[in-house]
């Protein structure tokens, strides 16, 4: 059974930086994608960034391009999301998730992901 555990959420000020981590274990798919999603209060869950486990290809939502960087430590199978120049609209619960394969047309669809972590709260406020 796959297990994903997020950490690193915090209360930060606009313009600050923050790094989230997702420890991934138990995934048996030969190819898979690890994604970061976020959900603000009263809003739908939206994709932020994802990385293909087998070749490290990275993808970003337009709203975070140039500010967020996704990376993966293969040894520990930990995926990190470095968040720079955060904005109040980055506030939300951040989840990591695993999708079987690399479905380019479905990268930002939560329903395409099979396993989810419990989430970590990021609050950007002055």
Q: Is the pLDDT of residue 21 over 90?
A: yes
Tell me the chain's radius of gyration from C-alpha atoms. 13
Q: Is the pLDDT of residue 1 over 90?
A: no
pLDDT tens per residue, range 25-77: 999 999 999 999 999 999 999 999 999 999 999 999 999 999 999 999 999 99
Q: Count CB neighbours of 64 within 10 A.
A: 22
State residue 97's pLDDT score. 98
CB 90 within 8 A of CB 14: no
Residue 112 phi, psi (nearest 5): -80, -10
pLDDT tens per residue, range 89-125: 999 999 999 999 989 899 999 999 999 999 999 999 9
């Amino acid at each position: 059974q796959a297990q994903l555990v997020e950490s690193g959420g915090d209360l930060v000020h606009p313009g600050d930086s923050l790094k989230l981590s997702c420890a991934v274990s138990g995934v048996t798919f030969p190819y898979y994608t690890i994604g970061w999603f976020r959900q603000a209060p009263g809003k739908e869950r939206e994709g932020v960034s994802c990385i293909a486990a087998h070749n490290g290809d990275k993808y970003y939502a337009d709203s975070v391009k140039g500010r967020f960087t996704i990376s993966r430590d293969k040894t520990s199978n930990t995926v990190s999301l470095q968040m720079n120049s955060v904005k109040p609209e980055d506030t939300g619960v951040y989840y990591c998730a695993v999708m079987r394969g690399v479905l380019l047309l479905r990268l930002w669809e939560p329903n395409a992901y099979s396993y989810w972590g419990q989430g970590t709260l990021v609050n950007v406020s002055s």
